[in-house]
Amino acid sequence: MSKLALISAAALFVGSSLSAQPVVVRANPENLPTIRVSFADLNLASTSGQSRLKHRIGRAAADVCEYNHSRMPLEEELDALGCFKQARAGGLLQMNDILEKGSWGSAFAANTIVITRM
């Protein structure tokens, strides 16, 4: 087999395998609705401060996902509920990371958690 035929066959094989890959489109994170939750006024060393931050995270997740228990078609409510659960979980993960690092008292630490619509 000639060198040109081998190169052509390889190019055809590579080209066909590349075109078989699924196309994945991801939203640009800069365009997703977000709410910033401040905890600068809370003492995260106390259980009451942590509880208040959890409440703020839940409220922000409900707001960003437009999950307000109002009457809406079931499919829309399920979408909003799924968004709410993911957004709240993301906020709680950020909170837990901050608590584990113990960095909330640092002058250089961020004092906000970002809740993003999923």
In a domain, 92, yes or no: yes
78-88 per-position pLDDT tens digit: 999 999 999 99
- Residue pair 35/60 in contact (Cβ under 8 Å)? The answer is yes
For residue 66, the enclosing domain spans 28-116
Whether the pTM exceeds 0.85: the reply is: no
In a domain, 55, yes or no: yes
26-73 per-position pLDDT tens digit: 555 667 899 999 999 999 999 999 999 999 999 999 999 999 877 888
Domain tally, the chain? 1
Contacts of 29 (CB under 8 A, 6+ apart): 116
